Amino acid sequence: MADFTAPTQDQLLAMQVCAGIGELARNDRFSAATPDLIEAIAEGIAAFAAGEWAPLNRIGDIEGARLADGVVTLPDGFAQAYAAYVEQGWNGIAAPAEFGGQGLPFTLATQVLESLGAANLAFTLLPILTTGAIEALQHHGSEEQKALYLPRLISGEWSGTMNLTEPQAGSDVGALRTTAMPIGPDEFEGRHAGKYRISGQKIFITWGEHELAENIVHLVLARTPGAPEGSRGISLFIVPKYLVSEDGSLGERNDLVCTGIEHKLGIHASPTCVMSYGDNGQCIGELVGRENEGLRAMFTMMNNARINVASQGVQIAERAAQQALAYARERIQSPRAGSADKHPVAIVEHPDVRRMLLRMRALTEGARALLYYTTGQVDRGRLADRAAAQRAELLVPLAKAWCTDTGIEVASLNIQIHGGMGYIEETGAAQLYRDARIPPIYEGTNGIQAADLVTRKLGMEQGGVLAGLMDEIVREAGDVTALAGLARGCARIGHWMVEEASLDDRLAGSVPFCTMCAVAVAGSQLLRQSRAVAAGAAPALAALKPVTARYFLEHVVPEAAGLEAAATAGAELLYSLSTDQLTA
């Protein structure tokens, strides 16, 4: 696989133009985010990712995580690379300063994870889950829980997980059966009074067991006695691998074990665990927040994770584009069509290969622009900007769904450019395609993201949040008529869905509508970038950015506009066959 170089210049441009990080730094909370510091972090993580994590990407795929006697091990080099990550302080970029973090914008933390994930997607799932646990405890934990757990989670000495899924439940979290029984003062010699015995099994737990961190803090959804049925009866618990004393020291091993790791299509270096809690009736958990409010706390963690999964789409696309560009320069095949010179040329000279390469670049940059526009709105929401917080809520499903779909398309084009060699594992192109297939599934499938868009998110302000965003895109589009037309189409469909469409009709059109909205936002952000570059920003991108933005606006945007018929077709055709007829 080609050497990895972090796309630092495009990241800096996206943070500046799309996230508006300079404006964020004018607020006291983010005043430390000076241009010099931002550039130093971007360049520092680029060097770290290329030097420490990228070399482990291939061996991680070939050897993968392995389980023996309840212990998961990783290939040689992972422990040393993670120790270096912790030592250099990369885990706490946006975490609260009072617990050892740097208190910088979420946008900057996203950039760190983007570079790491493009270097090694499977490995980067470890800090992604930890940052989600930090977010959940920061917003929903007690002061005692924050003081005990946050400093070591923020440093990376301890890692975190999210435990939702159970074998019988799948995406239906309300169907979970894991239980939490209160511990009385006479049990365990009174040491765990007020806590809970956790019992149950969870599946698909990312980095649920490993030896890279000193402790693993599992956040587990479970039911207490007498809890209401469904999602209203779910509570959240801290269940550490090793019990933690009041002074933060580690005690005995908790009654939990990894009973298996999944043999997956991709992300082989990320142990996807089957976790069993309380086999001996001794698993100790601690309630986060109040009983029956666990889903609210978990959604805080999940919202963070969904943005970071959107970033994974960008990460895969970036790595695949870099590999394709390198191969297209090196692979000599056939003379240029119509040329008087009949000597074979590098395939980058052939029109269709150029089309694919330019499409890969445009899609990757568009996805990155949408990602950082989303993180910028998240940061403003944390500064009590209610309109920005609502816009961020709207953008999350767009980013998660479209960026991860983009990762698949760009990884597929990488294989196509490699030709037959792309289908051979040794080139590494197949690994990227395999790895790309999971982000559209986990943290809520992309169909769930689209459903969320046309129900909860479209319902904000009776459709006004979406309408306001699309109106803004139309105004800024100016003479870019295709972009303005797409945004008007999105607004038109949104109005129809709010005022006229049935729930089935909205859901039937949700996926094409989600794509349309995401492309409209990405196109508007690329247009902003192109105009900024024309005005002197990012001189290193002066030649490239206008061309990639133009391709996106002239090719990708019209394609998305063509989805309007599918978005408004309704559900009638989908149910014109009976279930037996459809599945015969």
Measured distance CA(351)–CA(328) in Å, rounded: 12
Beta bridge partners of 220: 163, 237
**Which pLDDT score is estimated for 281?**
96
Strand residues in 123-193 grouped as ranges (E) = 158-163, 179-182
pTM here is 0.96
CA distances (Å), origin 172, targets 164, 207, 308: 9, 22, 22
**Which pLDDT score is estimated for 298?**
79
Beta carbons of 106 and 378 less than 8 angstroms apart: yes
DSSP character string of 452-473? HIIIIITTGGGGHHHHHHHHHH
Domain extents in the chain: 445-584
Q: For tokens 């730094």, what's the residue?
A: 25
Catalytic hit among 443, 472, 500, 554: 443
Beta bridge partners of 274: 260
Closest CA to 137 of 244, 257, 227, 258: 244
Measured distance CA(494)–CA(485) in Å, rounded: 14
Give the DSSP letter of residue 198.
E
Pair of tokens at residue 55:
């070399």
In tens digits, what is the pLDDT along the chain, a chain of 584 residues?
Answer: 668 999 999 999 999 999 999 999 999 999 999 999 999 999 999 999 999 999 999 999 999 999 999 899 999 999 999 999 999 999 999 999 999 999 999 999 999 999 999 999 999 999 999 999 999 999 999 999 999 999 999 999 999 999 988 987 666 776 789 999 999 988 888 889 999 999 999 999 999 999 999 999 999 999 999 999 988 999 999 999 999 999 999 999 999 999 999 999 999 999 999 999 999 999 999 999 999 999 888 788 788 889 999 999 999 999 999 999 999 999 999 999 988 889 999 999 999 999 999 999 999 999 999 999 999 999 999 999 999 999 999 999 999 999 999 999 999 999 999 999 999 999 999 999 999 999 999 999 999 999 999 999 999 999 999 999 999 999 999 999 999 999 999 999 999 999 999 999 999 999 999 999 999 999 999 999 999 999 999 999 999 999 999 999 999 999 999 999 999 999 999 999 999 999 99
Burial class (CB in 10 A: 0-12, 13-18, 19+), 205: buried
What is the SS3 assignment for 236? strand
H or E element, residue 115: helix 106-119
Pair of tokens at residue 383:
């500064």
**Which pLDDT score is estimated for 37?**
98
Active-site residue, 443 included: yes
Closest CA to 182 of 255, 285, 279, 280: 285
What is the SS3 assignment for 204? strand
Measured distance CA(392)–CA(12) in Å, rounded: 20
Beta bridge partners of 236: 221, 288
Burial class (CB in 10 A: 0-12, 13-18, 19+), 471: middle
**Which pLDDT score is estimated for 279?**
96
**Which pLDDT score is estimated for 435?**
98
Strand residues in 233-371 grouped as ranges (E) = 235-240, 242-244, 250-253, 256-261, 272-277, 284-288
Beta carbons of 212 and 160 less than 8 angstroms apart: no
